Amino acid sequence: MPFSKIVALGHHVPETVITNQYLSTVMDTTNEWIVERTGINERRWVDPTKDTVANMAAKATRMALKRANLTEKDIEFIVFATITPDYFFPGSGVLLQRELGLEGIGALDIRNACSGFIYALSTADQFIKSGMYKTILVVGAEIQSTALDVTTRGRNVSVIFGDGAGAAILQASDKPGVLSTHLHSDGRFAEELYVKDPGSSRPREIRQPEQILDTTDFKVVMNGNQVFKHAVVRFMEVINEALAASQMTKEQINLLVPHQANLRISQFIQQKMQLRDDQVYNNIMRYGNTTAASIPIALSEAWGEGRVKENNVICLAAFGSGFTWASALIRWI
C-alpha cells in the first residue's frame, strides 16, 4: 500500500487590507478591543468583482504547482474544502476543475468549516493509500467578507473573519509523509456557530425570497464564549491523539500549525502544552480567521519562510463549526 506526502504548497490572499482602524470607522469597535481579544491586526477582504473562491483556489494551486515543477495535467483528483462556495450548488470543486482546464477529473467538496482542510487532507490520503489516485489537489478557500454584517450589530463576528485560499499537492510515496489523521464531530453544538440560510429546514412560505431577505438568517451566528471553551479542550485532545498514534511526544513536534481561529486560543494551547515559540506558527495577525483556508495558507507561508524542513514533524490541528475538530501528523519527506 502506498503512503501519501505533501509535495508542494501555495496560497493566495486578496490585495485589499482591512485594518482594525478601518473597522472602527464603520462600527462601534476599537483596535485595542480587537487586538486584545483576538490578536488580529488586519485581514484581507476580496473585491468580489475581481476574485471568486474558485479563482483564488486556482491561484494558490498554480503557486504550489510551480514550486514543485508540476503542471495542472499532473492532478488526478480535487478535494475542495469551503463553507463559502461560489454557488449554493454545485460546489466550487467543479469550478476549480474548469478553471484549471482539467477535463473530466473528479472533484469533491468538503463542508467542515474550520476543520475542512484536515478533513480534505485525510480524504485525499485515503484515496492515495487505496491506490485510486497518485496525485491529488487539496484546497481550502473562503470568501467570508461578502456575508459579514459590517455594522455594530455584527461586530462580534465580522472583526474575526478574512478571505483567502491555500493549496497542497498530495502524491503517492513509498515512505509515509502523512503519518495519521484524526477526525471528530459533535453535532449537539451545531447552532453555536452557524449560518441558517439557505437551509432546507423551514416551510416553503418562510423560504420564499421576500421572506428570507427580511431576516438575518444569512449571517454568521456565533456564541464566542462557547466556541472558545470547547476549542481549547478539543485542540489539545486531538493534538495528543495524533502524537499518541505515532508514539511521539510534544518535544518531537517541529512545527504546530493550528487553525488560525483566534491568537488567544493558539497561545493558550502553546502555554498548556509548554511548546516553544519556534514550535508554533501563527499568522492570524495579518489574515484573521480564514476558516478552511487558514491551515494551508499558514503552512504555505511557513514553508516559504524556511520553517518546514526535510524530516521535520509537522502537526496540523483544527476546531470549528459543527463542532468539528481534527488533526494530522506529517513527516516532511
In the complex, the residues that contact ligand COA under the rule CB under 6 A are 29, 33-34, 37-38, 114, 155-156, 159-160, 222, 224-225, 227-228, 261-262, 265, 289, 320
Minimum Å gap between C-beta 306 and ligand COA is 28
Single out the catalytic residue among 11, 20, 41, 114. 114
Single out the catalytic residue among 20, 262, 282, 289.
Answer: 289
**Distance (Å, whole) CA 124 – CA 3:** 11
258 bridge partner residues: 317
CB 37 → ligand COA: shortest distance, Å?
4
Q: Which is nearer to ligand COA, 156 or 211 (CB)?
A: 156
| Residue 315 annotated among the catalytic residues of the structure | no
- Closer of 159 and 170 to ligand COA (Cβ): 159
245: CB partners within 8 A, 6+ apart: 179, 180, 182, 329
CB 320 within 8 A of CB 118: no
Label the pairing between strands 313-320 and 324-331: antiparallel
By C-beta, is 29 or 252 nearer to ligand COA? 29
Q: For ligand COA, give the closer residue by CB, 22 or 33.
A: 33
In the chain, beta strands by DSSP E: 3-12, 17-19, 42-44, 77-81, 106-110, 135-142, 164-173, 178-185, 193-194, 221-222, 255-258, 313-320, 324-331
Q: Choosing from 259, 282, 283, 315, which is the catalytic residue? A: 259
Q: Could you give the CA distance from residue 58 to residue 310 in angstroms, rounded to a whole number?
A: 27
**In this complex, which beta carbon is closest to ligand COA, that of residue 122 or of residue 321?**
321
> 264-280 burial string, b = 16+ CB within 10 Å, else e?
bbbebbbeebebeeebb
Q: Assess whether 225 carries a catalytic annotation.
A: no
Reduced to 3 states (helix: H, G, I; strand: E, B; else coil), residue 231 is helix
Question: Does 259 participate in catalysis according to the annotation?
Answer: yes
Measure Cα distances from 267 to 5, 136, 261, 263, 275 in Å: 28, 33, 11, 6, 10
Alpha-carbon gap, residue 266 to 172, rounded angstroms: 32
Which residue is nearest to ligand COA, using beta carbons? 224
Q: Which residues are catalytic?
A: 114, 259, 289
